[in-house]
């Protein structure tokens, strides 16, 4: 049986760890609330953008636009959004797995990375990282999304990459976060959502400026808004995941402390009993 002192030391160490996890849980709870309101506020823009663009593509029939076709290059850009910090359960790993365990071949993938943890993972696995924007994840702004979108699109127009994907964690609610991989470019025309609502009124849409030019402008905006939406959702998910992880850690620490207290008390009782027996034995030996 471990000595009393060992058990006590162990217990104290767990107690101080528990204090840290508790504090981290509180911090991420507060951050989660903030991030969630933000995600909720940006949702309408996100949804509307999606709807408008799919409507546009549905109504305008077969437009032959370079954003709607895959480029010639076999390279595929993946924008991956992870966190700058760990201790968030499987959060970072789950996003990275979408890329590493998915159908994408490692040689073809070019990573546009957001979040230090993801960078570490991809570096370790030998992926090509084209750019790193880890600073933005703390407080994503729309202009950050615009900046990233611009860079990726530039590579696409220069034919350095043929397709663009986006890997992030979707935020369903506080406890449900879904790692998601979506294709940004070429824009897929047959989304299932579209088929559901055939009701799209068949009034032909006019464009000002001309269709091609309008798409040239609108599709980058569409991509920017998707990136922005993904950023804010990921931040919310990150804090949600961390809150959960820290909650688990705290309750595990509680369990361990309860177990150790029991052991400690038993060891204490055992040592007292032993001392008593020794004293009595000594006394009876003298008399």
Partner 1 sequence: MAGKLFQLKIISPDRIFYEGEAWMVEFTSSEGELGVYADHVPLTTILVPGIMTIHEQDGIKKAAVHAGFAEILQDRVNVLAEVAEWPEEIDINRANEARIRAERRLGGASGEANINFVRAELALKRSLTRIKLLS
Which residues in this chain contact partner 1 in the complex, by CB under 8 A?
38, 41-42, 44-45, 48-49, 52, 55-56, 142, 146, 201, 203-209, 214, 217-218, 221, 224-225, 228
CB nearer to partner 1: give 39 or 77: 39
* Residue 188 DSSP label: P
Measured CA to CA, the distance from residue 228 to residue 55 in angstroms comes to 21
CB nearer to partner 1: give 118 or 149: 149
The nearest distance, CB 129 to partner 1, in angstroms, is: 24
CB nearer to partner 1: give 10 or 38: 38
CB nearer to partner 1: give 21 or 225: 225
- In this structure, are residues 189 and 68 in contact, taking their beta carbons and an 8 Å threshold? yes
Measured CA to CA, the distance from residue 90 to residue 94 in angstroms comes to 6
CA distance from start to end of the chain? 33
The nearest distance, CB 67 to partner 1, in angstroms, is: 15
The nearest distance, CB 55 to partner 1, in angstroms, is: 8
CB nearer to partner 1: give 11 or 221: 221
The nearest distance, CB 81 to partner 1, in angstroms, is: 16
The nearest distance, CB 3 to partner 1, in angstroms, is: 59
Nearest to 185 by CA among 152, 214, 207, 217: 152
Q: How many CA atoms lie within 13 A of 97 on its CB side?
A: 8
Q: Cα dihedral sign for 273, 275, 277, 280? A: negative
Q: Which residues of 72-104 are buried (b: 16+ CB within 10 A; e: fewer)?
A: ebebbbbbbbbbbbebbbebbbbbbebbeeeeb
CB nearer to partner 1: give 203 or 285: 203
The nearest distance, CB 53 to partner 1, in angstroms, is: 10
């Amino acid at each position: 049986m471990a000595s009393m002192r060992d058990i006590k030391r162990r217990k104290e160490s767990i107690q101080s760890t528990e204090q840290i996890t508790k504090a981290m849980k509180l911090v991420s709870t507060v951050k989660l609330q903030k991030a969630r309101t933000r995600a909720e506020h940006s949702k309408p823009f996100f949804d509307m953008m999606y709807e408008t663009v799919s409507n546009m593509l549905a109504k305008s029939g077969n437009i032959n636009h370079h954003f709607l076709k895959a480029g010639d290059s076999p390279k595929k850009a993946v924008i991956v959004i992870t966190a700058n910090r760990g201790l968030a359960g499987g959060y970072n790993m789950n996003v990275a797995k979408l890329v590493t365990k998915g159908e994408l071949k490692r040689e073809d993938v070019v990573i546009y990375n957001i979040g230090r943890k993801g960078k570490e993972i991809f570096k370790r696995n030998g992926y090509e990282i084209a750019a790193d924007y880890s600073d933005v994840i703390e407080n994503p702004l729309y202009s950050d999304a615009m900046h990233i979108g611009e860079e990726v699109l530039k590579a696409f127009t220069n034919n350095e990459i043929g397709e663009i994907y986006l890997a992030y964690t979707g935020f369903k609610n506080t406890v449900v976060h879904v790692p998601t991989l979506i294709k940004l470019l070429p824009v897929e025309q047959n989304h299932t959502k579209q088929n559901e609502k055939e009701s799209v009124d068949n009034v032909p849409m006019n464009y000002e400026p001309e269709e091609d030019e309008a798409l040239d402008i609108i599709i980058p905006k569409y991509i920017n808004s998707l990136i922005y939406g993904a950023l804010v959702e990921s931040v919310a998910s990150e804090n949600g995941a961390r809150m959960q992880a820290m909650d688990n850690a705290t309750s595990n620490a509680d369990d361990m402390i309860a177990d150790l207290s029991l052991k400690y008390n038993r060891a204490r009782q055992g040592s007292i009993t032993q001392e008593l027996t020794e004293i009595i034995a000594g006394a009876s030996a003298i008399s």
